[in-house]
Copies of this chain bind each other. A is one copy, B any other.
Amino acid sequence: MTGPRGSVRRAVVLLSGGLDSTTTLARAIEQGFEVFALTLRYGQRHAIETACAEEQARALGAREHRVVDVDLGFAGGSALTDRSIAVPKDRAAREPADGVPVTYVPARNAVLLSLALAWAETLGARDLFIGANVLDYSGYPDCRPEFLRAFEEMARRATRAGAAGEAFRVRAPLLRMTKADIVREAVRLGVDLSRTLSCYDPGPQGQPCGACDACVLRAKGFREAGVADPTAGP
């Protein structure tokens, strides 16, 4: 994708190393963006994702990949960052009364996108990619289109570029896809599925637990897409 003066347009892609963000990265590259991939270690349990992210960024052709620490665990309140809250393994019981899962990390996407925005501004990028999905994760407020639009408006007000009249675009190409759609899209784009980690609570060697929400959802997606999951056990 080319910018106003014919230069290649840059984009920052949030890349966790999971299926969704890796597929998002592949889409951004397919669309012709020069991609700067950003992996934020925010105190989640599975640092093994970072190794997957590193490999995928290289394999798919990101121009640059950065791994940055941001401590979201200090704020607590989530099973993904607080070891005293168990990752639920029984999908029927996963949702508190308000419909927001305990795996919701308070203000997570606001923090991650803000850091992506900081890098984007320095790079001259105006496009931020995120693997947000509204169907399978409808309980997460910060995966909804209203949030993404509100973030764009905030980004315009927060930055030097915005003050100069430019706009930032948050792109979530998987927003309305089912998990099966995402699996098919990953296959079409040539993503190495064996090096994507979706599990919320993997074992020490990065093996998925097979029982958390993310594993259950992923298995359902592969099944419906008719694709074998190379990370699943025998």
Q: Which residues of B contact A210 (CB under 8 A)?
A: none
Is A187 interfacial (CB-CB < 8 Å)? no
> What separation, in Å, do the CA atoms of A121 and B100 have in the docked complex?
13
Q: Which residues of B contact A114 (CB under 8 A)?
A: 107, 110-111, 114
- Please give the distance in Å from A206's CB to the nearest CB on chain B: 25
- Contact check, A118 vs B122: say whether CB atoms are below 8 A apart: no
Residue among A70, A100, A105, A108 with most chain B CB within 10 A: A70
Is A214 interfacial (CB-CB < 8 Å)? no
> What separation, in Å, do the CA atoms of A155 and B146 have in the docked complex?
11
Q: Provide a sorted-by-A list of 9 A–B residue pairs whose CB atoms are within 8 angstroms.
A: A76-B122, A77-B118, A100-B163, A104-B160, A106-B119, A110-B118, A111-B115, A142-B157, A151-B157
Chain B: CB-nearest residue to A66: B74
Mask, A111-128, CB within 8 Å of B = 1, is 100110111011000000
- Contact check, A122 vs B106: say whether CB atoms are below 8 A apart: yes
- Contact check, B163 vs A121: say whether CB atoms are below 8 A apart: no
- Please give the distance in Å from A70's CB to the nearest CB on chain B: 5
Q: Which residues of B contact A68 (CB under 8 A)?
A: 71, 74
Q: Which residues of B contact A141 (CB under 8 A)?
A: 157-160, 162-163
Q: Which residues of B contact A100 (CB under 8 A)?
A: 160, 163
> What separation, in Å, do the CA atoms of A203 and B141 have in the docked complex?
45
- Given A68-B74, A147-B154, A154-B151; A159-B106 close (CB under 8 Å): yes
Interface positions of A from 60 to 107, Cβ below 8 Å from B: 66, 68-72, 74-77, 98-100, 104-107
> What separation, in Å, do the CA atoms of A105 and B117 have in the docked complex?
11
> What separation, in Å, do the CA atoms of A117 and B113 have in the docked complex?
14
Q: Which residues of B contact A22 (CB under 8 A)?
A: none
Is A144 interfacial (CB-CB < 8 Å)? yes
Is A109 interfacial (CB-CB < 8 Å)? yes
- Contact check, B155 vs A153: say whether CB atoms are below 8 A apart: no
Known: A70-B71, A98-B164, A109-B158. 17 other contacts (CB 8 A): A70-B70, A75-B119, A76-B122, A77-B121, A98-B160, A98-B163, A105-B118, A106-B118, A106-B119, A107-B121, A110-B114, A110-B158, A141-B159, A147-B157, A150-B153, A150-B158, A151-B157
